[in-house]
Structure 1
Amino acid sequence: MVEISERIHHQNPEPLNDWRRYFSFCIDHKVIGIQYLVTTFFFYLLGGALAMMIRAELLTPDSDVLDRQFYNSTFTIHASIMIFLWVIPALVGFGNYLVPLMIGARDMAFPRLNALSFWMIPPAGIALISSFFIRGGAASSGWTSYPPLSVQQVQVGDITVPHVGQLIWCIGVIILGTSSILAAINFIVTIVAMRAPGMILFRMPLFIWATLAASCIAMMGTPVLAGALILLSLDLTQGTVFFNPTGGGDPVVYQHMFWFYSHPAVYIMILPAMGIISEVLPVFARKPIFGYKAIAISSMGIAVLGFMVWAHHMFTSGTPDWMRMFFMVASFLIAVPTGIKVFSWLGTIWGGKLELNSAMLFAMGFVSMFVIGGLSGIILASVPVDIHVHDTYFVVAHLHYVLFGGSVFAIYAGLYFWFPKMTGRMLNETWGKIHFALTFIGFNLCFLPMHQLGLQGMPRRVAQYAPQFQELNVVVSIGGFLLGISTLPFLFNAIYSWIWGTRAGANPWRALGLEWTVPSPPPVENFEEIPVVTAGSYEYGLVEPPSADSPRAALPTKS
C-alpha cells in the first residue's frame, strides 16, 4: 500500500522554510492544506461582512440601508461564499494537511492534481465577488438559484439581456464543484491505497473515516449539480427550455437535481467536522473514544442515507403524498447514525479528566449547537410542520445551527488543535477563550431568536417585514455584529502566534495519532521511514503518547 508513497518520495524539493512556496503551485500536501485554510478564511471574512450588511438592513422594518436588488445579491453571494468558498474547501484544507500524516504516507496520491484542485478556487471566488461590479449586478436569486427567477432577463439601458451575474455564479460554482471532485478522487485513492503497514481499516483515525465518507458523497453528488447548472446556463443564455414550463420544461426537475447534491452536501460539510470533533474530544478527556467502530460505520451510513432524503426540501413543491411520506421517514432515519455519534462523544467526555482549553471548548460547543440544529432538523422533516414554516426564519435558524454551530465550531476546534503541528507555535489560550466566548454568545444571540421569528411567520430573504418582528430582529442583528467582531481575537491570535508564539514540541497535547510522531511543522516528506502501525489512535491510558523520538512502531499492540 505504500508503493505510491515511495514513488513520490522525492517530488517535493522545496525547502521547508521558503515562504514563497505558499504563493506558488507547490505540490507539498501540507503547503496546499495551509493555502486552502488561509484562502478560505479570507472568503469567510468577506462572507461575514456581507452578513453584517444584511443584519444592518434588517434592523428596521423598512428597506432603508441597501438597494433592494443589491440586498438580493448580498444574501445570494453571502450564502454562496459561506458554503462553496468557506466550509467545504476549509475542511478539504484540513484533509489535505492531515490525511497523509494520519495514515503514514509521504504525500497525497496525485500531488499535482491536488495543487490544481486548490488553484481553481481563487479565480472562482474572485469572479463571484467581482460580479457585484458588473452591469446588472451579482446573482440575486438565492444560493439555490431556482428557475424561473434565476433565468429572468435584466434591463441594461434600453435593452434586455441575460443576467451576466447569474451566469458568472453558475460558472463559478461549476468550477468550485470540479475542484471538489478532484479533491475527492485524491482523498479516496490516498486513503485506500497509501495507508502505512498495520493501518487496517479499523485502526484508521475517525477523521480519515469521515473524510472518506464525505469524498464518496462529493464524487456521487457534485456532477449532478454541475449538470443542473449547465442546463440552467443554457436556459439563461441560449433560450433553451429545460426548466421553462411554457416550452415543455419543468422547474421542479431543477429542484430535484439541485437538492440531490445540496442535501448530501450538508454531510460533505458536516462529516469532516464530525471527524475533527472525534479527534479532539478523546485527547482532552484523556479517555479512549467511546464506540469507535460505531462512529466509523455511522459515517458511511450517513453517506448512503444522505442520498435518500433530498426531497424533504421540496414538500411544498407539489410532490405527491407517497413521496412526502417516504422522504419524511428517510429524514427521520438519518438521525440514527448522527445520534450514534453524539452519544459516543458524550460517552467519551463522561467521567474524563477534561482539559477545557480553546480546542476542547469549541469541540464541546459543536456538540451542543449541532444537537440543537439536529433537533430542529427532525422537526422540519415532519411534513405538516415543514409546510407551516417553509421559507421562514425557522429554516434559517436550523441551517445556521447545523452549519455554523456545527461546521464552523469544528473548524475552529481543529485550528486550535492542529495549529501547533502546522506552524510549530502555540496559540494563546487567553485570546482563544475570549474568541470562544464571543463566538458562542454572538452565535446564540443571533440565531436562537430566529426560531421564534419563523414560528411567528417572518419569511426569509426579505428586506422589508412587518413591524411586529422588529424587536427580535434588533436582537438578532446585535448578535450578528457580535459574531462578526468575534473573529478579531482569533485573527490577532493567529497572526501574532504564528510569528512570535511559544514554540510547540512535536506533541504538545500528548496525543496518540501518527501526525504527532513527526516534528512541528513536519518535514517536507513527513516520515524518514514509513511507520508500522501496531495500535489505534485512541488508546489513552493503555499506550504511551508518541513523540518524534518514539516512533509509532514501538507502541504496544492492544489485544
Structure 2
Amino acid sequence: MTTTIGKATLPSSLPRPPDELARLEKTWRTPTGLRFLTSVNNTNIGLLYIGTALLFFLLAGILGLMMRTQLAVPDNTLLAAGSYNQIFTMHGTVMMFLFAIPIVEALAVYLLPNMLGARDLPFPRLSAYAYWAYAIGGLAFFCTLFFGLAPDGGWFMYPPLTGKQYSPGLNADFWLLGIGFIEISAIAGAIELIVGILFTRAPGMTLSRMPVYAWAMLVVAVMIVFAFPAIIAGTALLEMERAFDWPFFIGERGGDPILWQHLFWFFGHPEVYIIFLPAAGMVSTMIPTIAGTALVGRKAIIVALVVVCFFSFALWAHHMFTAGLGVMTMSFVSAASMAVAVPTAIQVFAWIATLWRGKITMTAPALFLAGFMFIFVLGGLTGVMVALLPFDWQAHDTYFIVAHLHYVLVGGMVFPVFAALYYWLPLIKGQRLSERVAKWAFWLMFGGFNIAFFPMHVTGLLGMPRRVYTYPAGMGWDGLNMASTIGAFMLALGVVVFLVDTVRTLRRPGQPVGNPWNASTLEWLPSEDYATRSIPEVRSADPLWDQPGLAEQVEAGQHYLPGTVSGGRETIATSPVAGKPTYLLILPGDSWLPFIAAAGTAGFFLLLTVKMNVTAWICGIAAIVATVIWLWGSDRKPSMTEARVSDTLVLPVGARGTASHSWWATIIMLVVDATIFASFVFAYIHISMRLEVCPPPSASLPALRWPLIAGALLLAGSGLMLWAGRSLGKRRLPWLALAATGCVLASFLVDLHGYQLAGLAPRTMAWSATIAALLSYQGLHVIVLALAGPYLAARAWSGRLSPASRATLDNTALIWHYTTLQGIALALAVHGVPLLME
C-alpha cells in the first residue's frame, strides 16, 4: 500500500533496510568521557553554549547585587571606588558580551537545525570553535576580577579615560583584547547561522513557510555581520594607541575621543535590537502555541523584523545627543529613534491579536511572556522619551537612563529567554518544569524587577547621576535606592528558585519528549543525536498542525534521507528561496581540532596581554597548526558523485562555486572584512575633517608612482589566481599560486616603501596614525595570503585539488581578489580624501 500526504506520495514509502537506523545511530553517536570535548553536534554544542551563557548571567547578576548593596545607603564604604569601577565595568561587559549575545546564538545553535528540519548546521566544527573560544576566553576574562586586573573604564570604555595616560595598567587591555576575539566568535556563529538558514532547510520549506524565529535569527545574523566590525575596528584602534602610542583619540595630537563613540555606538545601538529580535522571534513562535491558533499578521511581523534591522543602523548617535553633534545629525537620529517604535508596535499588536483570537492557558511560558510585554512596552515608552532632544539633554547620564536600559534589555530579552527555557526545556529529557514553582519564580522576578528599576526613573529625574559609587545623604535618593536594592535581591531570589527547579527536573530520568505544548514547529518531532530519523517534506508554515501523522512518518523513515548514504554525517542542501533539494551535504564529524584551535586563540590573546610573549606565541602557533590540519582534511574528493536520498530522488554529492555553501560563507566573511576596513576608512575621514589643512603641514603623501606600482602588482597577482583557477589539474597551478604570492608581497613592500619616503609618523599625529592603521590592516591580509599561496600549492602537489574538490581554490581566489580591491580602495581613500577637502 502506498502512503500519502494528501494527494502526494511520501518520499520514502518503500520498506526500510533492517540495519539502516543502527548505522545512522552509530554515525551520529555522541562521544563519552573526555572525548565529549570533541563533539561538534549542534545539540551538544548548543546545550554547552546555553549553560555557559546562563553561568555568566549568574556571575554578572552577583556583581549587580554587589553594586546595589553599595548604593543601598548613602556614604557606604563597602566597596572602594576602584573596586566599584571594576565591578560596574564587568557587570555591564559580562551581561552584554558574555550573556546577552551568546545566549541568542546558543539557543539558535540548539533549536534551529531541528526547527528547519536539518540534521545539523553546515559548519559544525565552526560552531564548536566559536563556543570553545567564547567559553575559555570568557572565563579567563572574568577571572581578572580576582587579580585586580579587571577593566574599570565602564562597559563602553570611553577614551581618553581608557587611554594609556589615565589607565596605565593592563585592565583596559584585557577588555580590548578579550572582547575582540569574543566578537570574532560571535561573527563566526553569525556566518554559520546565515548559511544554515538559507541552505539547509527541509525540502518544501520556502522562505514564506520558514518559522518566524528563523527569520528573526537570519535578520540578526545579518545585523551582526554589519554592526560588529565597527567595535572590532574601534578596539583595534584603541589597543594600537595603547601599545604603539598612535594617538587616534588624543585631542592634543590631532585625535578625537568622539571617534570612539561613533564606532562603539554604531555597534552598540544595533546590538540592542540584535538582543531583542531573537527574543521577538521566540515570542512569535511560543504565542501561537499558547493561544492554540496561527500567528496573526505573520507577514507583517516578518516585514517589521526587516524594518527594525534597517532603522537600527540609523540610531547610533542616539547615545551621543550631548556630545556636541550638529543639529541636523541629531534631528535625523531623533526622528529615526521614534520611527523604530512603529515596526516594534506592529509585532506587539500582532501578539496581542493572536492571544485575543485564541484560548490562553496560563502556563509558565505564558506568564513570562505576559511579563515581557508589560515591561518591554514601558521600556519602549521611555525610549521614545529619551529620543526627544530636550528631554535627553536633561536625563542623559542620570539613573533615568539606567532604568530605561534595563526595562528594554531585561524586559525585551531576559523574560522571553526564561519563557523559552520553560517552553523548550522538555526537549532535553522530556520533563517539564513545575508549574507551581514557576509561579513563585515569575512573581519574584517580575515584582523584584519593577521594585528594583522603576524607582530609578524617579531617582534619575531627581538628579542622581549614573556611574557613581556613592552619594551623600539628604539628596532625596535614600529611600528610592534602598527600594531598588530590595527589589534586586527579590529578582535574584526568583532566579535561584528557577535554577533549583531546573536542576531538580534535569536530574529526573529521561522520557519520550512528545509534543507537550501541541506546538506546530518541527523541533518537536522525535529526535536523537542524528536529529530526526528522516528529513521531513514541509507543506505549510505550521507543519505539525497541518500535516497529520508527520511525526510518525518521519520516525518510520518515510521522508528524505532516512539513513546515511555515504557512511558519514549528512544533511540535504536546499535552494535559498524555494527550499528545493539541490545536493547532499556531507558534514565533518567529531574532532579535537576546534577545541585546540579555540584554546590556542584564547591563550594567544590573553597571554599576550600579560606580556607572556613566548607562551602566547606557542598558543598562537598551536591554533594555526590545528586550523591548517582542520582545513587540510575539509575539502576532500567525495567517495561518490550521486546519492539516493529517497525512493525517487537522486542528488549530486557536494557542489562547486556559487552553488556551494562554503563559497557563500566566504562571501559573508569578506563582507565582514570589508566593513572592518570601511570603519578604518571612516576613522581616517573623521580625523582628516578635523584638520584645517589636509594633509597637515608637517606630513605628506607618497608620490603617485608608488601606489600605482603597488596596485599593478596586486592586479597581476589576481590575474595569476584567475589563471590558476583555469589550470586545475595542470602542473603549472602551484607555480601560479606561488607567483601570485610573490606579487602580493612585493605590492605591500612597495606601498610601505612609498610611505617611508613620505615620512609617515604615526606617533606624531592622529592623521598619520589612521593611515598606518589602514596599512596595517592591508598587511594582515598580505600575511594571510602569504600563508594561503604555499598552502594552495601544497594541496595541488598532493593531488587534493580536483574538479570535484576545488572549494579551497575557489575560496582562496575570492580572498585574493578582495585583498586586491582593498589595496586599491586604500590608495584611493588616502589620496582622494585630501583632494576632496581642497
Q: TM-score, normalised by structure 2?
A: 0.62
Task: State the partner residue of 1:4.
Answer: none
Q: Confirm or deny that 1:54 pairs with 2:60.
A: no
Whole-angstrom distance in 1 between the partners of 2:372 and 2:31: 34
Counterpart of 2:204, as a letter, is G
Whole-angstrom distance in 1 between the partners of 2:249 and 2:31: 53
Task: State the partner residue of 1:130.
Answer: 143
Counterpart of 1:382, as a letter, is L
Kept in 1: contact 2:533–2:554 (CA 8 A): no
1:511-549 per-residue CA deviation (whole Å, 9 max, x = no partner) reads: 11011122xxx3112122221101112896xx3676632
**1:127 to partner: Cα distance:** 2.7
Task: State the partner residue of 1:274.
Answer: 280
Kept in 2: contact 1:127–1:168 (CA 8 A): no
**1:424 to partner: Cα distance:** 2.2
Task: State the partner residue of 1:258.
Answer: 264
1:469-499 per-residue CA deviation (whole Å, 9 max, x = no partner) reads: 1110000000011111111111111111011
**1:25 to partner: Cα distance:** 3.2
Task: State the partner residue of 1:114.
Answer: 127
Counterpart of 2:534, as a letter, is E
Task: State the partner residue of 1:361.
Answer: 367
Whole-angstrom distance in 2 between the partners of 1:289 and 1:341: 11
User: Does the residue aligned with 2:362 lie in a helix, a strand or coil?
Assistant: coil
Kept in 2: contact 1:516–1:546 (CA 8 A): no
Kept in 2: contact 1:114–1:186 (CA 8 A): yes
Q: What are the equivalent positions in structure 2 for 1:245-394 lying under 5 Å apart? A: 245-394=251-400
Task: State the partner residue of 1:190.
Answer: 196
Task: State the partner residue of 2:29.
Answer: 15
Whole-angstrom distance in 2 between the partners of 1:238 and 1:17: 46
Whole-angstrom distance in 2 between the partners of 1:410 and 1:233: 36
C-alpha spacing 1:406/1:546, structure 2 compared with 1 (3 Å): farther
Whole-angstrom distance in 2 between the partners of 1:111 and 1:443: 38
Q: Confirm or deny that 1:487 pairs with 2:495.
A: yes
Whole-angstrom distance in 2 between the partners of 1:266 and 1:128: 23
Q: Confirm or deny that 1:93 pairs with 2:106.
A: yes
Task: State the partner residue of 1:167.
Answer: 173
1:5-33 per-residue CA deviation (whole Å, 9 max, x = no partner) reads: xxxx9799453594766x51311011111
1:84 pairs, out of 75, 97, 109, with: 97
Whole-angstrom distance in 1 between the partners of 2:364 and 2:320: 39
Whole-angstrom distance in 1 between the partners of 2:357 and 2:461: 38
Whole-angstrom distance in 2 between the partners of 1:546 and 1:373: 43
1:438 pairs, out of 441, 444, 454, with: 444
Whole-angstrom distance in 2 between the partners of 1:367 and 1:20: 43
Task: State the partner residue of 1:424.
Answer: 430
1:28 pairs, out of 34, 41, 65, with: 41
**1:550 to partner: Cα distance:** 5.1
Whole-angstrom distance in 2 between the partners of 1:501 and 1:338: 42
1:342-366 per-residue CA deviation (whole Å, 9 max, x = no partner) reads: 1101111114211111111111211
Whole-angstrom distance in 2 between the partners of 1:189 and 1:127: 31
1:197-226 per-residue CA deviation (whole Å, 9 max, x = no partner) reads: 111111111100110011001011111100
**1:466 to partner: Cα distance:** 3.9
1:58-100 per-residue CA deviation (whole Å, 9 max, x = no partner) reads: 0111141101000011010001111111111111111001111
**1:551 to partner: Cα distance:** 4.6
Q: Confirm or deny that 1:407 pairs with 2:407.
A: no
C-alpha spacing 1:10/1:171, structure 2 compared with 1 (3 Å): farther
Task: State the partner residue of 1:176.
Answer: 182
2:551 pairs, out of 536, 545, 548, with: 548
1:247-287 per-residue CA deviation (whole Å, 9 max, x = no partner) reads: 10011011000000110011111110111111111101111
Whole-angstrom distance in 1 between the partners of 2:510 and 2:376: 33
Kept in 1: contact 2:399–2:464 (CA 8 A): yes
2:456 pairs, out of 434, 450, 455, with: 450
1:464 pairs, out of 470, 478, 482, with: 470
Whole-angstrom distance in 1 between the partners of 2:247 and 2:49: 38
Quote the RMSD (CA, aligned, Å).
2.0
Whole-angstrom distance in 2 between the partners of 1:432 and 1:20: 35
Q: Confirm or deny that 1:496 pairs with 2:504.
A: yes
2:529 pairs, out of 501, 511, 524, with: 524
Kept in 2: contact 1:134–1:165 (CA 8 A): no
User: Does the residue aligned with 1:317 lie in a helix, a strand or coil?
Assistant: coil
**1:300 to partner: Cα distance:** 1.3
C-alpha spacing 1:133/1:489, structure 2 compared with 1 (3 Å): closer
Whole-angstrom distance in 1 between the partners of 2:354 and 2:34: 42
Whole-angstrom distance in 2 between the partners of 1:354 and 1:171: 48
**1:406 to partner: Cα distance:** 1.4
Whole-angstrom distance in 1 between the partners of 2:478 and 2:441: 29
1:74 pairs, out of 74, 87, 99, with: 87
Whole-angstrom distance in 2 between the partners of 1:363 and 1:32: 27
**1:152 to partner: Cα distance:** 4.3
Task: State the partner residue of 1:149.
Answer: 161
Relative to structure 2, which stretch is displaced further, 280-289 or 145-154? 145-154
C-alpha spacing 1:502/1:284, structure 2 compared with 1 (3 Å): farther
Whole-angstrom distance in 1 between the partners of 2:398 and 2:25: 52
Kept in 2: contact 1:260–1:307 (CA 8 A): yes
Whole-angstrom distance in 2 between the partners of 1:319 and 1:534: 52
C-alpha spacing 1:12/1:44, structure 2 compared with 1 (3 Å): farther
User: Does the residue aligned with 2:552 lie in a helix, a strand or coil?
Assistant: coil
Whole-angstrom distance in 1 between the partners of 2:130 and 2:44: 13
1:39-63 per-residue CA deviation (whole Å, 9 max, x = no partner) reads: 1111111101000000000011114
Whole-angstrom distance in 1 between the partners of 2:38 and 2:253: 47
Task: State the partner residue of 1:39.
Answer: 52
Whole-angstrom distance in 1 between the partners of 2:450 and 2:356: 25
Q: TM-score, normalised by structure 1?
A: 0.92
C-alpha spacing 1:11/1:314, structure 2 compared with 1 (3 Å): farther
Task: State the partner residue of 2:4.
Answer: none
C-alpha spacing 1:490/1:546, structure 2 compared with 1 (3 Å): farther
Whole-angstrom distance in 2 between the partners of 1:353 and 1:17: 44
Kept in 2: contact 1:34–1:97 (CA 8 A): yes
Structure 1 unpaired stretches of 5+? 1-8, 155-160, 555-559
Percent identity at matched positions? 39
Structure 2 unpaired stretches of 5+? 1-22, 560-838
Counterpart of 1:527, as a letter, is T
Task: State the partner residue of 1:157.
Answer: none
Relative to structure 2, which stretch is displaced further, 332-341 or 49-58? 332-341
C-alpha spacing 1:502/1:27, structure 2 compared with 1 (3 Å): closer
Larger radius of gyration: 2
**1:505 to partner: Cα distance:** 3.1
User: Does the residue aligned with 1:483 lie in a helix, a strand or coil?
Assistant: helix
**1:237 to partner: Cα distance:** 2.5
Task: State the partner residue of 1:6.
Answer: none
Counterpart of 2:551, as a letter, is A
Kept in 1: contact 2:31–2:39 (CA 8 A): no
1:139 pairs, out of 130, 147, 151, with: 151
1:534 pairs, out of 526, 530, 539, with: 539
Whole-angstrom distance in 2 between the partners of 1:489 and 1:547: 37
Q: What are the equivalent positions in structure 2 for 1:222-237 lying under 5 Å apart? A: 222-237=228-243
Kept in 2: contact 1:139–1:165 (CA 8 A): yes
Kept in 2: contact 1:36–1:90 (CA 8 A): yes
